[in-house]
Amino acid sequence: MQTIMRETEKLLETLGYVEEPMGLFFTDQQPEGGYHPKENTPLTREREEAGQIDFAGMRDKWSCILGHIRLARKKRDTAWFAADHYGCMGGSFFAGFTNPALERNAYFVSTGIPGSGQRGERYMPSPEAMHVFLADCDAGPAPAKYCVVKPLSLFTEGEEPLVILFFARPEALFGLTALLWFTTGKTDSIAFPFGAGCTNIISWPLRFMRDGEDKAVLGAADLSCRKFMQPDEMSLAIPLDLYRRMLAAVPESALPDKSWDEVRKKAARSAAVWGKTEK
C-alpha cells in the first residue's frame, strides 16, 4: 500500500485534486469506532415472506450508506456496514448482506408498496424492470462480515482494498477517465449503469470484477444520495488491479501534457466557486 499511496499522491498533484481517495474492502474483523448505521434486525427474503419484518418499526433506523461514507470522508475516518448495520433495505442488498433482495425493494423503488397508499420512488417504471436490474447488478453474498470504506492512508499492513473510490467534480473526473481509457485502450472501460449511490460503488464494481470485465463505474446519479454529495460531485469506483495499471500509465498518458494543463485551470476555477475539493 505504501507504493500505491506514493503514486496516488503524485496523481492527485497532477490532477490538481486534494481529497484522498477511499478504499473499500470486506473483512471479518469489526472496525473500531468509525461511522456506521444503527443496529437493526437483519433482513432476509425468508423473513419477508413469513411477514416477520416490521418495516414501520424499523424506519427510524434507516440511513444512507453514502451519508456514512460522507462523514468518513470529512473526518478522514472509517465507515463500515454489516448484516445488522446496513442502513436501508437497498443498502443491505447492494452491500451483499441480504441475498436475494427483498421483494419489497422492487416496489419501493418503482410504483410503490401494494396496499400502502404511498407513491414509490419512481426511479424505475415497474417492479418488473427492478427485478431485471436487481438480477443484473447482483454480485452475490458479501465475502465477509463487514464492508469497510476508509481513506487509503489508513490501510494497515495486510489490508488491501478491492475498490478505489474517488469523489470528485467533472474536471478531475475527466482527468481520471482520460487516464483510464489510455490504460485499457478500450472505449467501454467506464460503465455508468442505473443504481443507488451504494450500488455503483459496491455492487456494480464487484459484479464486473466477478465476471472478469475490466471496468470502472461512474456513480452518484441516484437522486436520493445527492444530498450527501457536494455540488456537481460524482463517484468513480476503480478495481484495485485496474487502478495499479492506471498509476503506472500516468507518465505516458495525456496528463503530463498541455492538453491536461488547460483542463486543470478549469479545475482551479471550479474550486474557486465550490471550494475545498480541488486546488
Which pLDDT tens digit goes with each residue over 181-231? 999 999 999 999 999 999 999 999 999 999 999 999 999 999 999 999 998
8 Å CB contact between 68 and 79: yes
Buried b (16+ CB within 10 A) or exposed e, 247-261: beebeebebeeeebe
Question: In this predicted structure, what is the pLDDT of residue 278?
Answer: 39
8 Å CB contact between 149 and 72: yes
The CA distance from 93 to 25, in Å, is 16
One-letter amino acid for residue 161 of the chain: P
27 Cβ neighbours under 8 A, 6+ residues apart: 144, 145, 146, 148, 159
Q: Which residues in the chain show pLDDT less than 50?
A: 277-279
In terms of Cβ atoms closer than 10 Å to its own Cβ (0-12, 13-18, 19+), residue 188 is exposed
The CA distance from 266 to 99, in Å, is 44
Joined together, the cell numbers standing for residue 113 give 408498496
User: Nearest to residue 200, comparing CAs of 235, 173, 171, 162?
Assistant: 235
* Chain segment 70-92, per-residue pLDDT in tens: 999 999 999 999 999 999 999 99
8 Å CB contact between 96 and 199: no
Question: In this predicted structure, what is the pLDDT of residue 6?
Answer: 94
**What is the signed CA dihedral for 246, 154, 142, 35, rounded to 10 degrees?**
-130
Task: Tell me the whole-structure pTM to 2 decimals.
Answer: 0.94
8 Å CB contact between 26 and 144: yes
